[in-house]
Structure 1
Amino acid sequence: MSFTSAESRWGDVYLAAGARGISACGDFLAATALALALQSAGAGGLAVSGLLLAAALPLAVLAPITGRIADRVDSRTLLIAAGLAQAGICVALAYAHGTILIIALVALLACGLAVTQPTLAALLPAMVRREDLARAGGINQTASMVGILIAPALAGLLVGQFGARIPLLLDAVTYLALVAAGLLIRTRRAHAARPGPDATVFWRMRDDRLVFVMVGAIAAVVAGVGAINVIEVFFVRETLGASPTMFGLLGAAWTVGMLVGAALSGRYGGRVPDPARLVWLALLLAAVTCAVVLAAAGARHALLLVPLWLIGGAGNGGINVFTGVVLAERVPEAARGRAYAVMGAAVQGAGMIGYAVAGPLLERFEPRPLVAAAGLAGLVAVACCLPAVRRAGREIGPLPQVKDRHAPPAGDSVPA
């Protein structure tokens, strides 16, 4: 599936992972700083919800467009242009006034992320041999989780000391890591940048039953259990009576679990030659994660959630690695940008369903039964998806082909 035929380019892998980790830290730094700033300025929950929606919606809505851009435009050009644009938007955010303007700029910032995410994801398989892909994916996920882990604490410290402007200006600097990555990474996806007039590209996700079922299954599970992201703060703070510090510790525990899960899955995934088995493993980890949420409903003290959140986060990290490997193996190289964008859009859209459901439910029910309901809904989604995954594994067929007569070999480095 158009992996590099030479030795894996680990230097490129670490450059891409570093850029992703630094920019992920910047993303969460900006989101946290802006949420704190709006709350401190007296903005209500509607403003904060609008901010979060502006940060998530472009990734779901623009996936068909940004995926094609990632497949058709030179990856170096995209990383440099998007990095510079996002840095400029962050500078504008640092000096922006008014909730509407801030939300609009955040939406623009997310549009850049909608381009860079599939670009980096599709670039990774071209850097390494097939047997090294899971390890490379684990490194990439680990870097991203480290950035996410650092960002909230850093944002709280900087906002408390200097206000929102300094962290937003720092965020602008983090996006320059994408520019540096674009300049330094030797591997490039440039084959579709200048297609000839007769070039034809045929690829649809539904043509590969295994990939189609995998994306649908993961989205269904996220839709079922996703409400926990909203319910959790009320459950921890009100039902269990925990402090804000304890709530932050639980968030860190989940992220640390993702780090461990990504690292372990990265080592193990390369030994599994069958993509159908990887889909089974991803669904198994999804079941474990949902079971953890269900078990959390019985907790009587917030400290009991720490080991549960570590386990749940580990399952989350493993899912990310295994699904990334399956996409890289089953999707033709020239269409990987679209595939990763669709996967991201499906997960984002499913997560927003959970957000929308959780709000009204919290007005009518106590948090504890809602936590149990979220975990149970996720397990039901896993059970409902099992037959489709089983059939897709049995019926796994030849890989869908992309025809482009003007394309040079996939994954090659091209001259700077």
Structure 2
Amino acid sequence: MSFTTGDERWADVYLLSITRAVSVCGDFLAATTLALVLQQAGHGGLAVSGLMVAASLPLALVAPLGGRIADRADSRVVLVAAGVFQGLICLALAFVHHPVAIIGLVALLACGLAVTQPTIAALVPQMVRPENLARASGLNQTAGVIGMLIAPALAGFLVGQTGPRLPLLLDAATYLALVVAGFAIRTRRTPPAAAEAAANVRYRVWDDRTLTVMVVALAAVVAGVSAVNVVDVFFIRDTLAASTTVFGLVAAAWPVGMLIGSIAFGRVPRHRITVPAALVVVAGSCAPLIGSAVVGNALWLIPLWIVGGAFNGGINVFVMVIVAGRAPAAAHGRAFAMVSAAIQGAALIGLLAAGPLVEQFDPRWLLAAAGGLGLLAALAAMPLVRRAKATEVEVDSPKTRRGAPVAA
């Protein structure tokens, strides 16, 4: 692996975190607005589900290409070009009305995210020393959750007061944050002189058995949690007969927990962030889902969802630190992209499976099953990780270290 070996660049960390908050807020602002647009136009559930698939599928399919771009292209060029491209896509979204056009443009927008996400993720380890990566990652994740929390309420207010065009134009403007960040952040990855070295590093996540086991367990949990996003609508509104206000409070509880977890787990010492510890955190995110099966009032879901969200925030921090520590620096973009592809693919499977399942089974037991299967996946991965660690060769050795980042 490789981290900065000189002075840390916390100004870059804060700037990147602010950029993430603005960008994520814009993404969720657009997603909420477009879902409302399709629903209000009477296009039905098929169009809304198509929108969700369009926003998710490219992140899984295009991520490997995005990872290679992140490792071989100048990060400044990637961020600026992607910011301009995505801004133009959002600008077009503000003026189209046909559902096919909307879904197609959203898919293009997601293709841009498949490139910028690994680029941004690979920049963070270059900004700080290894012992401070958890803190830097926590800041970055916290910023993203703040953007996620603000966007739905902002979208609902703006669509109700002004119609859908203004929030979509605001989303287009948020992508200017990527352009600004591309020019303002001093840390840069793989300038032209280093592109050949990055191209010569052959790396696949699946060659690292320990990391593979963690990713598979995590994917199983993500599939379950994604299904919960569909199931809990019926559980809260129908099974528990809760009001729309209570549903909104419960829906906000998980991101609030993620915010708490990103801050709390960002303070965990680097030496305690291991793959077995990550599996424990993964298991912790599943336990509240099992507990939800016994509640009789939807308000009890709020503390459960906060706990689950807190562990979810911890997962994000741990994955950042572990992947950065186990992959060579020249392959960080590909490593983060491959992990992201597995997680996004699992999330899509969970979303697609939830619809038919909720028609056949009691939502209460679907939530419990999602949590139970995730918990079993995390526990089953423990002995596999120990077995893999007994035979592995550490990536973090003097022979695999790379140089310090290049400042502008």
Q: Which bracket does the TM-score occupy, shorter chain normalised?
A: over 0.9
How far apart, CA to CA, are the structure 2 residues paired with 1:409 and 1:279? 23
How far apart, CA to CA, are the structure 1 residues paired with 2:166 and 2:74? 33
8 A contact 2:26–2:171 mirrored in 1: yes
**Count of aligned positions:** 408
In structure 2, relative to structure 1, the CA distance for the partners of 1:398 and 1:356 (3 Å cut) is same
8 A contact 1:8–1:129 mirrored in 2: yes
1:388 aligns with 384
Correspondence 1:38 to 2:52: no
In structure 2, relative to structure 1, the CA distance for the partners of 1:300 and 1:130 (3 Å cut) is same
In structure 2, relative to structure 1, the CA distance for the partners of 1:403 and 1:169 (3 Å cut) is farther
Deviation at 1:215?
1.4
Deviation at 1:401?
8.5
Q: Alignment partner of 1:267: what SS? A: coil
Deviation at 1:234?
0.8
1:4 aligns with 4
How far apart, CA to CA, are the structure 2 residues paired with 1:67 and 1:303? 42
8 A contact 1:189–1:410 mirrored in 2: no
How far apart, CA to CA, are the structure 2 residues paired with 1:411 and 1:257? 35
How far apart, CA to CA, are the structure 2 residues paired with 1:220 and 1:113? 23
Identity %: 58
Q: Alignment partner of 1:155: what SS? A: helix
Deviation at 1:246?
1.8
8 A contact 1:62–1:114 mirrored in 2: yes
2:324 aligns with 328
How far apart, CA to CA, are the structure 1 residues paired with 2:398 and 2:148? 36
Greater displacement, 62-71 / 388-397 = 388-397
Q: Which string of whole-angstrom CA distances, capped at 9 and with x for unpartnered residues, describes residues 87-141 of structure 1?
A: 1111100001200000000001111111111000000000001111000000000
Q: Residues 258-337 of structure 1 correspond to what in structure 2 (within 5 A)?
A: 258-268=258-268, 271-273=269-271, 278-337=274-333
How far apart, CA to CA, are the structure 2 residues paired with 1:93 and 1:411? 40
Q: Residues 126-141 of structure 1 correspond to what in structure 2 (within 5 A)?
A: 126-141=126-141
Q: Residues 40-79 of structure 1 correspond to what in structure 2 (within 5 A)?
A: 40-79=40-79
How far apart, CA to CA, are the structure 2 residues paired with 1:135 and 1:56? 28
8 A contact 2:329–2:402 mirrored in 1: no
Deviation at 1:200?
2.4
1:85 aligns with 85
Query: 337, 343, 355: which one pairs with 1:341?
Result: 337
TM-score normalised over the length of structure 1: 0.94
How far apart, CA to CA, are the structure 1 residues paired with 2:248 and 2:197? 54
8 A contact 2:224–2:374 mirrored in 1: yes
Correspondence 1:17 to 2:45: no
How far apart, CA to CA, are the structure 1 residues paired with 2:225 and 2:129? 35
Correspondence 1:205 to 2:201: no
TM-score normalised over the length of structure 2: 0.95
In structure 2, relative to structure 1, the CA distance for the partners of 1:196 and 1:413 (3 Å cut) is closer
Q: One-letter code of the match for 1:272?
A: R
Deviation at 1:368?
1.3
How far apart, CA to CA, are the structure 1 residues paired with 2:150 and 2:340? 23
Q: Which runs of 4+ in 1 moved over 6 A?
A: 400-404
Deviation at 1:201?
2.3
Q: Which string of whole-angstrom CA distances, capped at 9 and with x for unpartnered residues, describes residues 130-160 of structure 1?
A: 1110000000000000000000000000011
8 A contact 2:71–2:198 mirrored in 1: no
8 A contact 1:60–1:344 mirrored in 2: yes
Q: One-letter code of the match for 2:162?
A: F
How far apart, CA to CA, are the structure 2 residues paired with 1:167 and 1:198? 39
How far apart, CA to CA, are the structure 1 residues paired with 2:384 and 2:280? 14
Deviation at 1:191?
4.1
8 A contact 1:225–1:377 mirrored in 2: no
Correspondence 1:376 to 2:372: yes
How far apart, CA to CA, are the structure 2 residues paired with 1:312 and 1:181? 32
1:248 aligns with 248
How far apart, CA to CA, are the structure 1 residues paired with 2:164 and 2:328? 43
Deviation at 1:205?
1.6
In structure 2, relative to structure 1, the CA distance for the partners of 1:16 and 1:193 (3 Å cut) is farther
How far apart, CA to CA, are the structure 1 residues paired with 2:321 and 2:121? 10
In structure 2, relative to structure 1, the CA distance for the partners of 1:10 and 1:231 (3 Å cut) is same
Correspondence 1:412 to 2:408: no
In structure 2, relative to structure 1, the CA distance for the partners of 1:79 and 1:197 (3 Å cut) is closer
In structure 2, relative to structure 1, the CA distance for the partners of 1:193 and 1:82 (3 Å cut) is farther
* Structure 1 vs Structure 2 CA RMSD: 2.0
Deviation at 1:242?
1.6
In structure 2, relative to structure 1, the CA distance for the partners of 1:338 and 1:198 (3 Å cut) is closer
Q: One-letter code of the match for 1:394?
A: A
How far apart, CA to CA, are the structure 2 residues paired with 1:336 and 1:372? 36
Q: Which string of whole-angstrom CA distances, capped at 9 and with x for unpartnered residues, describes residues 353-391 of structure 1?
A: 211221111111221121111111212222222221222
Deviation at 1:224?
4.0
Q: Which string of whole-angstrom CA distances, capped at 9 and with x for unpartnered residues, describes residues 61-98 of structure 1?
A: 01111100010000000000000111111110000120
Correspondence 1:110 to 2:141: no
How far apart, CA to CA, are the structure 1 residues paired with 2:21 and 2:198? 39
Deviation at 1:315?
0.4
8 A contact 1:20–1:144 mirrored in 2: yes
In structure 2, relative to structure 1, the CA distance for the partners of 1:252 and 1:196 (3 Å cut) is closer
Structure 2: gaps spanning 5 or more residues: none
Q: Which string of whole-angstrom CA distances, capped at 9 and with x for unpartnered residues, describes residues 296-342 of structure 1?
A: 11111111001001100000000110111001111111100011111
